[in-house]
Structure 1
Amino acid sequence: MAGMRQALVPVVAWSLATGAAVTLSWWGVHSVMAGTAYDPPRAVPLTAAGRTPPPTPPPLVPATRRPETFSPPPASAPPATRPAPPPSPSPPAGASASSPAPRPSVRLRSYEITGGRAVFSVTGTSASLVSATPEAGWQVQTWSQPEWVRVTFTRGTQESSVFYTWNGHAPTAQFDAR
């Protein structure tokens, strides 16, 4: 009986410690994920050859990042949940007030290549992936760095890519198929 008790003590201690760790981990993940929202994926319209494409929709942006094209709300109508910002000081006499820098224009670029379709949001200084949709039977992989983004569609030994770079120059697209 004493031998059995000695064997059960570590098992019970391990079970309690594991249960506590799982509970603590679940609670941590749950509390972080509770306030997040995920946008459903949106389809990009396909156009038939020879037809004029429909107007370009606004860029799709993940719910966790505010797009560059939106302006902050005007100071005259602050949100009800935030206090009004303090008035900005007047420039000294004789000084001219400088206007804010213009925001870059954003354009969607869609590329249909062997294996799928990739859509990018492109400004004069950078590009970001909006969506990558593989065709049936194909896989998609994406990579992103501060100066480039790449989308590759693969099936067996077939591979095709769209590669955007903008390191010291305006964004340019390159295509590679093997």
Structure 2
Amino acid sequence: MRQALVPVVAWSLATGAAVTLSWWGVHSVMAGTAYDPPRAVPLTAAGPTAVSTPPPLVPATRRPEPSSPPPAPTPSATRSAPSPSPPAPTGAPASSPAPAHAARLRSYEITGGRAVFSVTDTSASLVSATPEAGWQVQTWSQPEWVRVTFTRGTQESSVFYTWNGHAPTVQFDAR
């Protein structure tokens, strides 16, 4: 009995040591990376919206720094947001149109998820694509178009932006 037990104990100890060593090696490599879920842009309306200043993006491999309370405002810094354009000179109209290159965020909630795009007068780019539970997302991007497709089984729905020689246009497809 003792002779049969010695190889089993030796095998168990060797396997335990190998698993521990492997786990420690993988853990030390993966400790510097973080796979956080994508951060969705907060929206207040169900349809497309325009936001002039998007929130800053944080890479998924770096955790954001803990925030400290903002300093108390001083009398010279009482405005809550920077002005979008410099003050108009005397005799000029009080408001000026936004620059032609200003990006607008457009959000589309379709079957399977939500896609958010940054759209200018000459192009569009994907900001985020968030699938609903049970759905998967695929994205394609080329110099003249970008496509987001949500799939679940045989169901498929897409948002497709094109701007090849024209202003960006959006198309939807569901199958």
TM-score range, shorter chain: 0.5 to 0.7
CA drift of 1:162 comes to 0.5
Aligned residues: 132
The residue that corresponds to 2:106 in the other structure is 109
Task: Calculate percent identity across the aligned residue pairs.
Answer: 39
Q: TM-score, normalised by structure 1?
A: 0.52
Query: Is the CA contact 2:39–2:128 (under 8 Å) kept in the aligned structure 1?
Result: no
The secondary structure found in structure 1 opposite 2:160 is: strand
Q: Using the alignment, how far apart are the partners of 1:105 and 1:139 within structure 2?
A: 33
The residue that corresponds to 1:128 in the other structure is 126
- After superposition, residues 6-155 of structure 1 pair within 5 angstroms as 6-33=7-34, 41-46=40-45, 56-60=51-55, 62-64=57-59, 105-114=102-111, 117-123=114-120, 124-132=122-130, 134=132, 139=135, 141-147=137-143, 148-153=145-150
CA drift of 1:10 comes to 2.5
Q: TM-score, normalised by structure 2?
A: 0.52
The secondary structure found in structure 2 opposite 1:12 is: helix
Query: Is the CA contact 1:142–1:149 (under 8 Å) kept in the aligned structure 2?
Result: no
Give the superposed CA RMSD: 3.9
Q: Using the alignment, how far apart are the partners of 2:112 and 2:38 within structure 1?
A: 25
The secondary structure found in structure 2 opposite 1:45 is: coil
The secondary structure found in structure 1 opposite 2:108 is: strand
Deviations 1:133-163 (A, max 9, x none): 65xx883523234444333345776543102
Higher RCO (CA 8 Å, separation ≥ 6 residues)? 2
Q: Using the alignment, how far apart are the partners of 1:133 and 1:44 within structure 2?
A: 16
| Structure 2: unaligned runs, 5 residues or longer | 61-100
